[in-house]
Chain A
Amino acid sequence: MSIFVNNDTRVVVQGITGREGQFHAAQCISYGTNVVAGSTPGKGGQEIEGVPVVNTVQEAVSEYSANCSLIFVPPPFAADAILEAVDAGIKTIVTITEGIPVMDMLKVKNYLQGTDVVLIGPNCPGIITPGEAKVGIMPGAIHQRGKIGVISRSGTLTYEVVYQLTQQGIGQSTCLGIGGDPVTGVNYLDCLHAFENDPETRGIVMVGEIGGDAEEKAAEYVHTKVSKPVVGFIAGLTAPPGKRMGHAGAIISGGSGTAQAKIEAMRKGGIEVCEDLGSFGDMCSQVFV
């Protein structure tokens, strides 16, 4: 078991003819992901990386039984691409694109309310169930199949954490980035819920950063609803207020969203928080025995 993606995942790559889309489609395929189609309007009929290209996501669903989409479409057209996937009946949508306007994502987010669609991202590295499916841009080789679920708002920081886990011999059930934007699809709560209900997952790693109150809400959820051990990390203790730290969502505004407040909330919720990134793996090997 795992969450959201597995051996039955059949991926359509939206934006497969772009530079990044093509590169990462190839990487996913060589990892063993079942990429069944790519879509780019107007380029249907071609073949890229051995994958048939179609004009619409609808075709990818009806002709190739795609059930998951991986989106590399540029920001001005990305929200439209997500909505196209939703209406074509795709249930798991992974959006890598960074820089989608907030107003567009607000509409997407409200459109998804009440549906059973899982949107991962945008502005995220994607999701991987080691040994089964990599639907994203993370380096596959640092992962190892195992029993720890990883949720994060960031990309390379997640790789760092996963790398340290693997070095310690701690494998992962599923690792996913929920994205660094202020409006994202699934949040910590959705992922915590899924990991709690996944029999294979024995413990959870939660990597957060400054901005918003998602970590605080997650901490409360862990306190009341999660029985598995959780180890956390928060980036941005030294971030100055009012400055956007790379990610559109990483900003301390009006004194709220600070790393200190998040760490305190997480500890209160029963999460073991590591403050020294260099010893994250060590700490996990003690907690997840």
Chain B
Amino acid sequence: MKIQEYQAKELFSAYDVPVPEGKVAESIDEAVSIAEKMKGFPVAIKAQILAGGRGKGGGVKIAHSSEEFKEKTKQILGMNLITPQTEKQGERVGKVLVEQGVDIDKELYLSLVFDRSSSKVAIIASMAGGMDIEEVAEKYPEKIVKVRINPLLGIQPYHARQVAFGLDLPSGARKELISILNKLYKFYQEKDCNLLEINPLVLTKQEELLAMDAKVNFDDSALFRQKELSEYQETSQEHPLEVEANKYGLNYIKMEGNVGNMVNGAGLAMATMDMIKQVGANPANFLDVGGGANAEMVENGFRIILQDENVKCVLVNIFGGILRCDVLANGVVQAAERTGLNVPVVIRMEGTNVEEGRRILADSGLDFRLAKDLNEASQKISEFAN
């Protein structure tokens, strides 16, 4: 789960990690009254969307006077922000973060991330803040400091020292950084993060450190024990069909093609999408109904696929293990009877109770196209889709 910058900063503040003075606004009037209460200009206006690269798309601006502030806030609030990381159509900006400007001496990069290849929590820091860390890693690998923390032990003093000395900070700021690292690690651990990135972490001319930006992702599997994070959960930026699928416990991702597909198991679902692509068509979605799906879940999945107007034909590919083929067949028949079949549906089934499943489909009187194996299934899809 991702959260907005202003929400991440609220959480940082609760852990005593320093952030610039600021507040979120949903209207121009609200933004203006926040800016008026600040020490003075410059003031930053930052679009609050989940995608990164906001600066590049014109979603982050600095104002030096109240006229400029109003003008720039107008431009950002309500705009459709397109960045290298948004979808083509961009994301609508409904909120801006209004923040006090600071005297920047240096911009640093700092992140805590779950390091998949070592199974540790890694702290990555760099003197080259403000740039993509991937870019820094490529161009100036010597500027990156990386330490790996064993989660059984937690952060040790030497970890923090190693990062602080690696960044070449004045001694006062070094102590401050060590303290920030300890707080951030605690936060990372207690809140089940899997990414926490501050880019840039700024050193001010007064030798203070401030988290100018904040990006935090949480582990979806741990949300059951992070109840207080649920208020941050937003579904407005997801496709409506994805939101609906989620309600039924289905794993559905909307895509651009026209071949709807329903599969049990994520690996087989991806492989089925690839198969559709190989015959020159494009998948309309990813849909894993799961190993333990029942007739009702299958029915819901099928109905969601058919709601996608781009869908010209549907491929159902099931390898019955826990999900038996007769259960699947019943679900598909029920869904088809309720919604009506307006596109060709190719069904390929194998595994547990396959004979019974095939009999149910044949006896339904509905016009399903049965395929005996994957090759026949892709051949039929190729005919219908192209």
Contact = CB atoms under 8 A, between A and B. Distances in A.
Contacts of B288: 246
A216 to B, nearest CB: 10
A159 B322 CA distance: 11
Contacts of A109: 119
Contacts of A243: 253, 286
Nearest to A100: B221
A156 B265 contact: yes
B211 to A, nearest CB: 21
A137 B262 CA distance: 21
Interface residues of B, number: 56
B119 A101 contact: no
Contacts of A156: 263-265, 267-268, 291, 319, 321
Contacts of B283: 238
Interface string B336-351: 0000000000000011
A76 B270 contact: no
A137 B224 contact: no
A278 B374 contact: yes
Contact of A110 (B150, B264, B321): B150
Interface in A3-46: 20
Interface string A113-155: 0000000000001000000000001110010000000001111
Interface of B: 85, 114, 116-117, 119-121, 134, 150-152, 189, 192, 194, 219-222, 224-225, 251, 253, 255, 263-271, 273-278, 282-283, 286, 288, 291-292, 319-322, 350-352, 373-375, 377-378
Interface residues of A, number: 62
A240 B255 contact: yes
A276 interface: yes
B375 A278 contact: yes
| Residue among B222, B268, B283 with max Cβ neighbours from chain A (10 Å) | B268
B158 to A, nearest CB: 18
A209 interface: yes
Contact of A250 (B150, B255, B270): B270
| Residue among A249, A255, A277 with max Cβ neighbours from chain B (10 Å) | A277
A213 B374 CA distance: 28
